[in-house]
């Protein structure tokens, strides 16, 4: 009996010990793709945003693991009664990280907020033309929302809006709204090295950037002076491993601690491994096939409907997602408010597809292409296999498809310029608001300027009017009604062929603690620690 009691005491002691966060160690995170730049205002892809989350802060942030807003670099804010002025009171005593290429002790102030935002819309700003297009700012039509950003004093900044914008605060918690150092940027300008803003970043975030080896790894060190308390980890490494199976093998071998996007077929073996645990959550995402309406014959709604009927999405989800996804019919996930449950999508029907092609003037089909993403994403575990399944389906109705792919950065850039016929992509919600899907991905605003986020290049005035109105009202019921109507137009126009909403699974070693899946698909390691 004494032995049993002693063993139980030791076991319970170990549990208590394991539940207490420990400082130290290096965590290696296996990610599926490289970043395109480390300046988050110029990108919209998750792989780049993962880096930004580690390095930078925003004025407001989402509470870890939720879409609930909380203070970050701003401790509080006041909103004018007319909704056109937002005054942010900034956190004092926050400093940008010192690095070997920026050794100045630089305090975070209103000047950094003004710099980070005004460069995105003020054409006279010294950095407006540096680094490329401000993709998210453009896709969200922010220049028609934000009139000015003004430094009231050292620790107070005011945003003046041109119109009311219900998701405005939530938008400021997204990576494109990351706060960069004005002092660092201006020092680069003087040296003629402005490209370093996207290569050698300086932020106030939980980790300090140390090194980027292209297509290989990122190395970060703990920001021991972080305003919200230092991270538990001493070092964080993001290792680029593009092959899903190789990432899984490295996790099983213990050479990485956490991995992104396992192959669905490997989930069972990972779950059965005694050294590994899986964190699961229904994703706030959608995977889709976009039809480029700037190219014939995709400007013809009958063709788009025909293809939508010809593709067997249930078969794709069953064979490729293997139970880790649900067939999608809508452009927003079913877990999001305002989701229109009445939409049924386009069922798999070869006869209907052929009849529609004939009516459109293509009784024998035509030749086209599908672009397949080269990396696993939370909304699509294997772009190549999905494209091959679609290729086989479309061959049955006479449509001959060539599959095209590029490295991830090139893929995104070319798709944003509209070089595709059809493109496989997807989206993970950034702020928990339907506007983040419907406005960014489908509004006329998102298609007017290239590089564009609306990869269908669909420019529908009625749809956009509904979305714009929904952004400017605060009543949730009214916003919901407007978004429901917009989704009906989306379905009637067959803008995309929605594929799936996936379950997000993050496998990790048992000794990793504190990791949560963010609904916005952020990868946050500030609260993560390794049991020794």
Local confidence band at 369 (pLDDT 50, 70, 90 cut-offs): very high
Average pLDDT of 467-484?
93
Residue 379 belongs to some domain of the structure: yes
Q: Are residues 415 and 525 in the same domain?
A: no
pLDDT of residue 1: 43
pLDDT exceeds 90 at position 10: no
Average pLDDT of 132-149?
92
Domain extent for 64: 26-240+510-530
pLDDT of residue 69: 93
Average pLDDT of 318-339?
93
pLDDT exceeds 60 at position 379: yes
Residue 214's CB is within 10 A of a number of other CB atoms, namely 9
Residue 20 belongs to some domain of the structure: no
Residue 7 belongs to some domain of the structure: no
Q: Are residues 61 and 138 in the same domain?
A: yes
Average pLDDT of 115-143?
93
For the entire predicted model, the pTM comes to: 0.84
Q: Are residues 470 and 450 in the same domain?
A: yes
pLDDT of residue 236: 98
pLDDT of residue 16: 38
Beta bridge partners of 62: 69
pLDDT digits (tens, 9 = 90+) for 270-281: 999 999 999 998
pLDDT of residue 139: 84
pLDDT exceeds 90 at position 237: yes
Residue-averaged pLDDT of the chain? 93
Average pLDDT of 200-210?
97
Q: Are residues 464 and 516 in the same domain?
A: no
pLDDT of residue 59: 98
Least confident of 140-144, 408-412, 457-461: 140-144
Residue 98 belongs to some domain of the structure: yes
Q: Are residues 230 and 171 in the same domain?
A: yes
Residue 19 belongs to some domain of the structure: no
Average pLDDT of 28-53?
93
pLDDT exceeds 80 at position 11: no
One DSSP character per residue, 241-307 reads ---HHHHHHHHHHTS-SEES---GGGHHHHHH-TTEEEEEEE-SEEEEEEE-TTSTTTTSHHHHHHH
Q: State the CATH number of the domain containing residue 192.
A: 3.90.76.10
Local confidence band at 289 (pLDDT 50, 70, 90 cut-offs): very high
Domains contained in the chain, number? 2
Mention every residue, 6+ apart, whose C-beta is less than 8 A from residue 277. 507, 508, 509, 510
What tokens appear for 105 in the block? 């002790």
Residue 266 belongs to some domain of the structure: no
Q: Are residues 233 and 304 in the same domain?
A: no
CB distance 232 to 528 below 8 Å: yes
Residue 483 belongs to some domain of the structure: yes
pLDDT of residue 520: 80
Query: How many Å apart are CA 421 and CA 298, to the nearest integer?
Result: 8
- Angle, in degrees to the nearest 10, between helices 182-191 and 110-118: 60
pLDDT of residue 283: 85
Q: Are residues 293 and 409 in the same domain?
A: yes
Residues of the chain with pLDDT > 70, as a percent, come to 97
CB distance 345 to 331 below 8 Å: no
Q: Are residues 524 and 487 in the same domain?
A: no
pLDDT exceeds 70 at position 376: yes
Q: Are residues 387 and 474 in the same domain?
A: yes
One DSSP character per residue, 73-138 reads SEEEEEE-TTS-EEEEEEPSS-BPPPBTTB-S--B--HHHHHHHHHTTT-TTSTTTTSSS--HHHH
Residue 204 belongs to some domain of the structure: yes
Query: How many Å apart are CA 426 and CA 41, to the nearest integer?
Result: 19
Q: Are residues 474 and 524 in the same domain?
A: no
pLDDT of residue 17: 44
pLDDT exceeds 50 at position 5: no
Average pLDDT of 465-491?
95
Residue position matching structure tokens 């798709």 = 415
pLDDT exceeds 90 at position 8: no
- The CA-to-CA distance between both ends of the chain, in Å, stands at 30
Q: Are residues 467 and 487 in the same domain?
A: yes
Q: Are residues 88 and 131 in the same domain?
A: yes
Least confident of 165-169, 201-205, 292-296, 389-393: 165-169
């Amino acid at each position: 009996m004494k032995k049993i009691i002693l063993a139980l005491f030791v076991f319970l002691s170990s549990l208590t010990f394991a539940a207490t966060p420990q400082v130290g160690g290096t965590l290696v995170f296996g990610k599926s793709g490289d970043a395109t730049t480390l300046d988050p205002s110029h990108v919209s892809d998750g792989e780049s945003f993962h880096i930004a989350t580690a390095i930078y802060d925003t004025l407001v942030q989402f509470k870890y693991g939720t879409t609930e807003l909380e203070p970050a670099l701003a401790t509080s804010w006041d909103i004018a009664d007319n909704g056109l002025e937002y005054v942010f009171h900034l956190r004092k005593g926050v400093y940008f990280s010192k690095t070997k290429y920026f050794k100045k002790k630089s305090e975070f102030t209103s000047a950094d907020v003004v710099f980070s935002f005004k460069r995105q819309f003020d054409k006279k700003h010294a950095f407006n033309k540096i680094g490329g297009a401000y993709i998210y700012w453009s896709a969200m039509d922010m220049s028609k929302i934000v009139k000015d950003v003004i430094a009231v004093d050292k620790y107070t900044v005011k945003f003046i809006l041109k119109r009311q914008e219900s998701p405005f605060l939530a938008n400021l918690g997204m990576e494109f709204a990351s706060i960069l150092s004005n002092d660092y940027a201006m020092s680069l300008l003087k040296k003629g090295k402005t490209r370093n803003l996207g290569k050698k970043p300086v932020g106030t975030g939980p980790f300090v950037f140390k090194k980027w080896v292209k297509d290989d790894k990122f190395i970060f060190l703990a920001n021991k002076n972080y305003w919200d308390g230092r991270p538990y980890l001493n070092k964080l490494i993001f290792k680029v491993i593009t092959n899903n199976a190789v990432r899984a093998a490295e996790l099983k071998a213990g050479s990485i601690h956490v991995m992104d996007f396992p192959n669905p077929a490997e989930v069972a073996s990972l779950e059965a491994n005694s050294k590994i645990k899986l964190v699961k959550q229904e994703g706030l995402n959608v995977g889709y096939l976009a039809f480029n309406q700037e190219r014939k014959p995709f400007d013809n709604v009958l063709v788009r409907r025909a293809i939508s009927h010809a593709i067997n999405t249930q078969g794709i989800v069953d064979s490729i997602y293997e139970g880790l996804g649900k067939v999608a019919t809508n452009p927003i996930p079913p877990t999001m408010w305002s989701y229109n449950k009445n939409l049924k999508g386009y069922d798999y029907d070869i006869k209907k597809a052929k009849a529609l092609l004939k009516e459109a003037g293509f009784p024998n089909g035509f030749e086209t292409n599908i672009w397949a993403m080269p990396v696993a994403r939370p909304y699509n575990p294997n772009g190549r296999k999905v494209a091959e399944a679609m290729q086989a389906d479309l061959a049955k109705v006479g449509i001959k498809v060539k599959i095209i792919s590029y490295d991830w950065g090139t893929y995104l850039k070319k798709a944003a310029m509209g070089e595709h016929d059809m493109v496989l992509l997807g989206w993970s919600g950034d702020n928990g608001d339907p506007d983040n899907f419907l406005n960014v991905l489908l509004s006329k605003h998102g298609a007017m300027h290239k590089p564009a986020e609306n990869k269908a290049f669909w420019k529908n005035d009625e749809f956009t009017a509904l979305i714009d109105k929904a952004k400017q009202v605060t009543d949730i019921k009214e916003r919901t009604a407007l978004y429901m109507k917009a989704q009906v137009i989306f379905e009637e126009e067959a803008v995309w062929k929605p594929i799936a909403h996936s379950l997000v699974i993050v496998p990790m070693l048992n000794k990793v603690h504190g990791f949560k899946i963010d609904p916005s698909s952020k990868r946050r390691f500030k609260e993560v620690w390794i049991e020794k």
